[in-house]
Structure 1
Amino acid sequence: MTNYQIPQNALLKNKFFYQFLMTHDREVAREVHNEYMETMSKVYFSYFKEYLHRLTKLQFEDIPEKDDLMGSEDTGAKSRTSLFASKYTLKNRSTVFSIGDREAILTTDLEAPLIVPHVAIKSETKYSMESLFRSHEFALVDNACREYLFISEFFMANRNTAQELFTQVLGKTFALMTKHIEDQFQSSYDSIALFVCLHIIYRYRLLAHKRAVPTLDTYWESIVKIIWPRFEYVFQLHIQSIRLCDTTKLTNFDTTRPHYITRRYAEFSASVMIINDTFPDERVSVLLGSLQNEVENLILKMASLFHNPKEQLIFIINNYDMILGVLIERKKEDSKESENIKQQLNKRIQDFVEELLCPHFGAMIAFVKDCESYVDKNDLEALKREESKVTHLIKSFNTGWRKALEDISREVMNCFTNFKNGNNIQQSALTQIIQYYHRFSKIVSQNPFKNNPIRSELINIHQLMVEVKKYKTNF
Structure 2
Amino acid sequence: MEKNFTIASLEFCLSQLKRADESVVRKAITSGDGLSESSDDVGQKLSEAHKNAVKQCLTNADKLATLHNQIDACDKVFERLQNMLCSFQNNLGTIGEDMKQLQVQSLDIHQELENRQKVRNELSQFVDDIVVPQPMITTIMDADPNERGFIEALHELHHKINLISSRGNGEAVAVNDTIPILENLKYKAIEKVREWLLLKIYQFRKPLSNYQIFQHQLLKCRFFYEFVLNHEPAIARELQDEYIDTISKMFFTYFKAYASRLFKLTMKDAASKEDSVGAIDTAKSSGISGFFAAKPQVRNRATVFSIGQRNGVLQSDFLGALIVPHAAAQNNQSFQFETLFRSLQLAFVDHYSHEYLFITDFFLVSENEALEIHSKAMARAVSVLLKCCEEQIVVNWDAISLHLCICLCDKFQQLLIEREVPDVNGYWETMSNILWTRFDQVMTNHNDSVRMIDLKKLQNQGALDARPHFIVRRYAELTSAHLTIAKSNGKEIGPKVGALLESSEDAIEQLLTRMSTMQTSHKNKHVFLINNYDLILGVIDDNESKQSRIYAIVHELEQKSIDDFVEVVLDPHIGFLIKFVTECEGLINQGHTQLLVRYNDKISTVITTFNQKWKQSIDAIHSEVMNLFTNFRLGTSILQTIFTKFVQYVQRFSKIIAHEVFSSNSACSEMINVHQIMLEIKKYKPVY
State if a TM-score over 0.5 links the two structures. yes
1:463 is aligned to 676
2:371 is aligned to 163
Counterpart mapping for 1:4-83 below 5 A? 4-76=211-283
CA distance in 1, matches of 2:535, 2:318: 32
Matched, 1:441 2:654: yes
CA distance in 2, matches of 1:15, 1:454: 108
CA distance in 2, matches of 1:140, 1:94: 31
CA distance in 2, matches of 1:275, 1:300: 29
Number of aligned residues: 468
- Asked if the contact 1:270/1:330 (under 8 Å) is kept, the reply is no
For 1:125, which of 315, 333, 338 is the aligned residue? 333
Matched, 1:289 2:502: yes
Cα deviation, residue 94, structure 1: 5.6
1:452 is aligned to 665
Matched, 1:258 2:465: no
Q: Which moved more, 1:44-53 or 1:1-10?
A: 1-10
CA distance in 2, matches of 1:473, 1:259: 27
Structure 2 vs 1, CA of residues 165 and 78 (structure 1 numbering), >3 Å: closer, same or farther? Answer: farther
TM-score scaled by length of structure 2: 0.65
Cα deviation, residue 199, structure 1: 1.1
Structure 2 vs 1, CA of residues 379 and 88 (structure 1 numbering), >3 Å: closer, same or farther? Answer: closer
Cα deviation, residue 34, structure 1: 2.7
Matched, 1:244 2:452: yes
For 1:190, which of 380, 389, 398 is the aligned residue? 398
Q: Which runs of 5+ in 2 are unaligned?
A: 1-207, 287-294
Q: Deviations over 1:398-431 (max 9, x none)?
A: 2221121111112111112322121111111101
- Considering only aligned residues, what root-mean-square deviation do their CA atoms show, in Å? 2.1
- Asked if the contact 1:205/1:217 (under 8 Å) is kept, the reply is no
Q: Which runs of 5+ in 1 are unaligned?
A: 80-84
- Asked if the contact 2:281/2:298 (under 8 Å) is kept, the reply is no
Structure 2 vs 1, CA of residues 101 and 286 (structure 1 numbering), >3 Å: closer, same or farther? Answer: same
Cα deviation, residue 86, structure 1: 5.1
Q: Which amino acid aligns with 1:396?
A: T
CA distance in 2, matches of 1:435, 1:275: 44
Structure of higher RCO (CA pairs closer than 8 Å, 6+ residues apart): 1
Q: Deviations over 1:118-150 (max 9, x none)?
A: 211111111111111111111000111100111
Cα deviation, residue 18, structure 1: 1.4
2:64 is aligned to none
1:227 is aligned to 435
CA distance in 1, matches of 2:611, 2:453: 50
Q: Which amino acid aligns with 1:71?
A: G
Matched, 1:146 2:374: no
Q: Which moved more, 1:304-313 or 1:160-169?
A: 160-169
- Asked if the contact 1:259/1:319 (under 8 Å) is kept, the reply is yes
- Asked if the contact 2:266/2:335 (under 8 Å) is kept, the reply is yes
1:402 is aligned to 615
Q: Which moved more, 1:327-336 or 1:315-324?
A: 327-336
Percentage identity across paired residues of the two chains: 39
Q: Deviations over 1:205-234 (max 9, x none)?
A: 110111111241421112112211111111
Cα deviation, residue 377, structure 1: 3.1
Counterpart mapping for 1:409-428 below 5 A? 409-428=622-641
- Asked if the contact 1:267/1:326 (under 8 Å) is kept, the reply is yes
2:304 is aligned to 96
Matched, 1:321 2:534: yes
Q: Deviations over 1:131-177 (max 9, x none)?
A: 11111111000111100111011101222211221122221111111
For 2:642, which of 419, 426, 429 is the aligned residue? 429
Matched, 1:172 2:376: no
TM-score scaled by length of structure 1: 0.93
Structure number with greater Rg is 2
- Asked if the contact 1:398/1:458 (under 8 Å) is kept, the reply is yes
- Asked if the contact 2:465/2:519 (under 8 Å) is kept, the reply is no
CA distance in 2, matches of 1:132, 1:88: 27
For 1:373, which of 567, 586, 593 is the aligned residue? 586
Q: Which amino acid aligns with 1:158?
A: S
Structure 2 vs 1, CA of residues 430 and 458 (structure 1 numbering), >3 Å: closer, same or farther? Answer: same
1:82 is aligned to none
Cα deviation, residue 56, structure 1: 2.1
Cα deviation, residue 105, structure 1: 0.7
CA distance in 2, matches of 1:2, 1:450: 103
- Asked if the contact 2:247/2:377 (under 8 Å) is kept, the reply is yes
Matched, 1:269 2:452: no
Matched, 1:340 2:548: no
Q: Which moved more, 1:306-315 or 1:182-191?
A: 182-191
Structure 2 vs 1, CA of residues 100 and 78 (structure 1 numbering), >3 Å: closer, same or farther? Answer: farther
